Structure 1
Amino acid sequence: MSKLLLITSSPRGEESISNKVSADLAAALAAKSGAEIIRRDLASNPIAHLDTVTTNAIRKSPAERNAEEAAAAEVSDKLVAELFAADQIVIGTGLINFNIYSGLKSWIDNVARAGVTFRYTEAGPEGLVKGKKVYIVLAAAGVYSDGPAASLNHAVPYLKTVLGFLGMTDVEVVYVEGLAFGPEAVEKAMAAAESRTKELAQAA
């Protein structure tokens, strides 16, 4: 059975728009493909930011790690295994201070590992996480997909850059934006997200 990795990062729980839309998208994709959904909630089960021990551990082979480093590397190893096992990946985040939630950044720091998910070659860096379809759901109070505030949206460019560096270049984006502009704007944004979700699921 194929697997779909659903990564959510908003600390707002059930009130989170990015959590809801990304979960709806994952469900629609799984209904189409029959994939098993693997959930990784980075807010309710946060991943510690890299410290000295973990940074040293993930740069070594398992045989080179001491006991403390081996324990520290377990989480990173599990996250990497989840990533490689997935055929589809849905990433949900809100736009906070013009970028992604720090919990999602910590996930990235744990899976971006030289010699494991990417490698350096004479021709330049090569991503090793290939053959994945990735969907980004970005919720925002303002409008950042285009218009005068588009240059302040560092989340999507960053995610596309780091995902591409790891080998994941087939990326779709679902914007749920203008959420601070009142109930009508929220309703409109949710309707657009639902329409986009159906479109992506049908095309999958």
Structure 2
Amino acid sequence: MAWPPANGLTTQRVPRLNVILPIHASTTVAAPASLVWSTLRDLSDFPTWNTFCPSATIHSQPKDAAESEANLLHLDTSFTFNVIMDASKPSKITPTQLRVTDFSTPDAQSGYIPADVLKVDGTYEADLGKVYRIAWSTEGGFVARGLRSERFHEIIVLGENQCEVRTWECQGGVLARAVKYYYKDTLMKKFAEWCEDLKRESERRAQNEATG
């Protein structure tokens, strides 16, 4: 099935009928899906590979999160991404407060997306046995009151050392129209760069592991 679906993208927090700005990107990665997943979850390593979001601050973790995983994203992690919208102005940071809304792995599958939606919608990978999935949504502050957004990542197993990365965000609310007008092209570019950065770092790690 082609992705993104012809009828448009959707999320649980911003359903298709309310989407004003959809943003998406995808790529294939020559690395195990589990390695890409661990790279994506570890915010402490973002400065080494993520040019769109080179730093992040965790505000709180769920009570059952292990102390050794304090820098990792979990379900219900509250955090802020420090985003660089203009690469020529790396000191100009846009802080975005977020909370993890979904978290699914082949071994611990989530029920966040209803089974009937997974089966027919086309936005999500339907086979939870071969996908790592995480989502986060805006929260707090003036922006959250006028902008509803939810972003998903799916890392889909294609083989032992190959996977597909898909990321998309749906925005709605009164401020989404302004974001669409001023930043749509920039955000599409930044999402593509995020995927390529994640691909590059994951493949580098996979190569290092292979060569010992």
Q: TM-score, normalised by structure 1?
A: 0.25
Q: Which has the larger helix fraction?
A: 1
Structure with more contact order per residue of length (Cα contacts < 8 Å, sep ≥ 6): 2
- How does the TM-score come out when normalised to structure 2? 0.24
State the structure with more CA Rg. Answer: 1
Higher strand share: 2
